[in-house]
Amino acid sequence: MVAQHAPDLLLRSRSYGHEPLWADSLLDAYAYGLLKRMDEIASHGLLREYQSRVDTTSFPRGRILTSSTIRQLHTRGIRHQAVASWFERDSDNAANRCLKYALWFLAQRLSGDVSKASRQRQTLLDRLAPLYAMFSDVTLDHSLAFLRDGLVMGERRLPSLRAYYRPALDIATAIILEHGVKIDAVGDSIRLPSLILNMNRLFEHYLRNALRIRGRERQWEHEVLDGNTDGRQLLFDDPPSEDATPDIVLHDPATDRCSLIVEVKNVPLKGQHSDRSAIEQAVTYGVSYRCNQVVLAHPRSHSGDFSGLRLQGQIDRLAIYQYVFDLTANPLEGEEERFARAIEALAAEDTAPVASLAL
C-alpha cells in the first residue's frame, strides 16, 4: 500500500472503556502488536547492512588509501600505519534505529504514570526490556532521521530473507508518529475486534508517498518532506514560536528553500472553493516558508465533479491552488501519476521567494 500508514493487524478482541484513546486503548494495542513482531525478529535475527569504514591502523584490511596515507601519515614520518577503507556488516542502520526508538517510546509511555500502572502494563514493560537490549549496538536516534529512510517508510524493498521486518516497521512508524485511531464505544465498555484508521492521516501519507515514489523514479531535483518531521520549522521568524507543520514540503536542495507546499484536507469540497480556515492556513504556511505556491489537496466528492489542479486565487505573489484527487480512478496509479506531474510542474515554475505580503 502506497500510504504505508497504520498496520492492518493488531487487535485481539478485548474490552475498552471510556478512556483516553492513545494513553490506554491504543497504546496497549500497539505494544502487543509490536512485541509479537519483535519476537519474530529475535528468532530470525537482526537486519545488518554493509557500512563503509575508514580508519588509520597498523593492521590494514580492505583497500589501502594511498593518497590519504601519504598525506596524513608519511609526511609526518609515520611509516607503521596506513589509512584503509573496508565494508562491514553493521546492525546500526535506519530500520533498527526505528525499532529501537519505538521500543523506547513505548517504555516511556507505559511507565509514565506509575500510579496507574497495571499488572498488564508491567508485563508489557518486562517484555520490552530484553527486546530493547537486543539493540544495544544500535543508536537511539531522537532526531528521528530514520523516518527519511526509504526502507523504513516502505519506499524501498527489504531483502527477501528479512521480509519479516516489514510488519514490525509499519507498527513502529505508526507508534512514533502517533497515528490516530477512532474507537466508538457504547456504554461503559465494548469488545472490539479491530481498529478504525484515521482517514485524515491515511490520505495525507498516501499523497506524500505517491509523490516520493514518483519523485524517486523520475529523479526529481526536489525533496518531498513531511512538515511534521523533517520539513518542520518555526512558524515565526524568531522564537518563541509554535512550529509550522504543513503536510508536504517540496524542498530544493540547490537553493535550500521551499518551492511548494501541499496541505492535505480529507474533506470533500462543497462548491469550488476550500473552506476559509483551510485557505487561511495555506496563506500562513506560504508566508512562513517564504513560498510562492501552496496547494490544498482534497478528495473528489462525486464522480461528475471536477478533478485535477486549479488556481483558487492570489495574494500579491502568493498563489493558492487546489488539487481535487479522484480516489475512485481506475487504475488509481493513473491518478497518482497525474497528481505527481501537476505538483512537479508547479515546483518547476517556482520563482523568487515571497518577501512580504500586505495581509
The label of the residue with cell 524568531 reads 238
Residues linked to residue 192 through DSSP beta bridges, in sequence order: 14
In tens digits, the chain (359 residues) has pLDDT values of 444 443 333 344 333 333 334 444 567 777 888 888 899 999 998 988 766 667 777 777 667 777 777 778 677 888 788 776 756 667 889 999 999 999 999 898 888 654 445 676 788 888 899 999 999 999 999 999 999 998 898 888 888 888 999 888 888 888 888 764 444 443 333 233 344 445 677 788 889 989 998 988 888 989 999 998 889 999 999 999 999 999 999 999 988 989 999 999 988 887 788 999 999 999 999 999 999 999 999 998 877 788 899 999 999 999 999 999 998 888 889 999 999 999 999 988 764 444 433 33
| CATH numbers and ranges of domains, the chain | 14-46+92-192 (no CATH), 49-90 (no CATH), 200-348 (3.90.1570)
Cβ atoms of 106 and 30 within 8 Å: the answer is yes
| Rounded Cα distance, 319 and 336, in Å | 23
- Are 7 and 170 contacting, i.e. CB atoms less than 8 angstroms apart? yes
Tell me how many degrees the CA angle 114-117-122 measures, rounded to the nearest 5. 110
Interatomic CA distance for residues 301 and 342, integer angstroms:
20
pTM: 0.51
State the DSSP string of 11-38: PPSEEEES--IIIIIIHHHHHHHHHHHH
* Three-class SS state of 330: coil
* Cα 231 from Cα 224, distance rounded (Å): 9
Please name every residue paired with 26 in a beta bridge, in sequence order, or none if there are none: none
Q: Please tell me the predicted confidence (pLDDT) of residue 189.
A: 32
| Amino acid sitting at position 250 | L
Task: With beta carbons less than 8 A apart as the criterion, state whether 346 and 260 touch.
Answer: yes
Residue 295: the pLDDT is 96
Alpha-carbon span 70 to 64, nearest angstrom: 11
Distance of CA 177 to the CA centre of its chain: 7
- Please say whether the beta carbons of 197 and 174 come within 8 A: no
pLDDT score at 201: 76
C-alpha cell belonging to residue 20 = 483516553
